[in-house]
Amino acid sequence: MFQNYILDNWKDKKLWYNPNHPTGYLYMKLGELIFKKLNLKVSLDGQDFNHFNSIHKDYEMPILPCIKKYYNLNFNDTCSTRGLENVINTETYIKEFLSCLKIKKILIFYSIYINKII
């Protein structure tokens, strides 16, 4: 079962790049289960994993060190964001996130202010 795979592996394999995007591990397992259900004898290999693993790798959120320690996660955590090459670790991710929030707040403020004037 798919949920058993998640329960058995969540501490040892990074299964999500972010809350909405799974890694190749989940895509591979889902593919295997679908092929099995359809009685198709298809074996997925490392090349398939690389393909599946690249589908949503454009936005990879870091796992905070305190969370990793609390849940005793045993995999290497990486962080990347397409278009923001300076995002390379948890610290740079948080700085960029806060910067984006600040810009968003300014834009919201100006949109409210401009709407009142118009």
Give the DSSP letter of residue 19: T
| Number of domains composing the chain | 1
Q: For 69, which DSSP code? A: H
Q: What's the length of the chain?
A: 118
What whole-number distance in Å separates Cα of residue 86 and Cα of residue 80? 9
Helix (DSSP H) and strand (DSSP E) numbers for the chain: 5, 4
Task: Please report the pLDDT score of residue 113 as a whole number.
Answer: 59
Range of the domain at 13: 1-60
CA 37/CA 104 separation, integer angstroms: 46
Read off the pLDDT of residues 42-60 as tens digits, 9 standing for 90 and up.
Answer: 887 778 878 877 777 777 8
Is position 50 within any domain? yes
Say if CB 93 and CB 60 are below 8 A apart. Answer: no
Percentage of the chain modeled with pLDDT above 90: 19
What is the rounded CA–CA span in Å between residue 96 and residue 110? 21
Q: According to the model, what pLDDT value does residue 66 have?
A: 86
Percentage, residues of the chain above pLDDT 70: 83
Domain membership of residue 109 (yes or no) is: no
pLDDT digits (tens, 9 = 90+) for 8-28: 999 999 999 888 889 888 988
Phi, psi dihedrals of residue 42, rounded to the nearest 5°? -125, 130
Residue 5 covered by a domain: yes
